[in-house]
Amino acid sequence: MSARKLTCAFITLTVVLLCQSVRSKLQVGFYRNLCNLAETIVKEEVRKGISRDEGVAAGLVRLHFHDCFARGCDASVLIDSTPGNSAEQDSPANDPSLRGFAVIDRAKARLEAICKGVVSCADIVAFAARDSIMIAGGFGYEVPAGRRDGRISLVNETFTNLPPPTLNVDQLTQAFAKKGFTQEEMITLTGAHTIGRSHCTSFSERLYNFNGTTSQDPSLDSTYVTQLKQRCPQGSKNPNLVVPMTTDCPSFRDAGYYKNVLANRGLFTSDQTLMTNAATAIPVNQNARNPNLWRSKFAAAMLKMSQLDVLTGDAGEIRSNCRVINS
């Protein structure tokens, strides 16, 4: 065997062993003998939440993303601020746009009633994101569990870990690479913008104050700009103004996000920037043409994300209340 082949074989083996090491800490069916109704109860509460407000599906997926990208998948995003500490929830990236907390609270309360101190908040968030994807038309996937809850939540950590919607394609690629994702996985995960909504404040500069020479972003479809301006008036101080992330019916079944980007209707700079680079434009086209392929890749990427920097074994704790660390 040549030296090059030996090197490639070694690298492949190393990657496989690392992946197996992470997975060995988490197990599919972790609660089967500990609290066998855990995943069923979470799914029930997710269904109830989405029946009250279909936007909760997108909220729970985003909640999982924001949890995992800041300090790992440890439910630190659920911890409330205290007089002595500003938690992740206080970040402009999370407040007031992050939602789904009530669904997690209800699931946790039911689980504590039958399996006190067993099911972690971090696992509930991971289960809820998976269930939301399935209900919204995406492919399901088995979620390995056994995560523990973190005891620290710092607002400052969101500033360096959560990619803002203003990033260009190179910055976005670098932000995801820091978390171990390839560029294609980054493109796959941004497809979560197929569902959900955005506050006007997250993209209004593209409509009214793009740069020193142009008031609106020339990469945006002009008809779409007119529609957005009607929903987001210039100078509005209303923090509750929102628009759908995509112009089509929001569902993971049709990968509408990528179709919007191809039509120059990517809502965020970080969405439309995918068309500025040939390497990223190709997967956008592929995902738009083949929604089933994207749904399969999305499930795999979400599974990978759900294992970012998890706490297992004796690390962390199992919170009795997801919003407060145990005393």
- Tell me the catalytic residues: 66
Tell whether 199 is in a known binding site. Answer: no
Known binding residue 280? Answer is no
> Counting beta carbons within 10 angstroms of the beta carbon of residue 173, is it exposed (0 to 12), middle (13 to 18) or buried (19 or more)?
buried
Q: Is 67 annotated as a binding residue?
A: yes
Spell 263-294 as b/e; 16+ CB within 10 A means b.
ebbbbbbbbbbbbebeebbebbebbbeebeeb
Distance CA 146, CA 25 (A): 7
Retrieve residue 17's tokens.
Answer: 């062993």
Q: Is 132 annotated as a binding residue?
A: no
Neighbours of 110 (CB within 10 A): 17
* Residue 193, marked binder: yes
> Is 72 known as a binding-site position?
yes
Residue with tokens 């738009």: 288
Q: Is 96 annotated as a binding residue?
A: no
Is 76 annotated in a binding site? The answer is yes
**Is there a binding annotation on residue 112?**
no
For residue 110, the one-letter residue type is R
Choose among 161, 148, 6, 201: nearest CA to 70. 161
Residues within the annotated binding site for heme b?
A: 193
Residues within the annotated binding site for Ca(2+)?
A: 67, 72, 74, 76, 88, 194, 254
Residues within the annotated binding site?
A: 67, 72, 74, 76, 88, 163, 193-194, 254
Residues within the annotated binding site for substrate?
A: 163
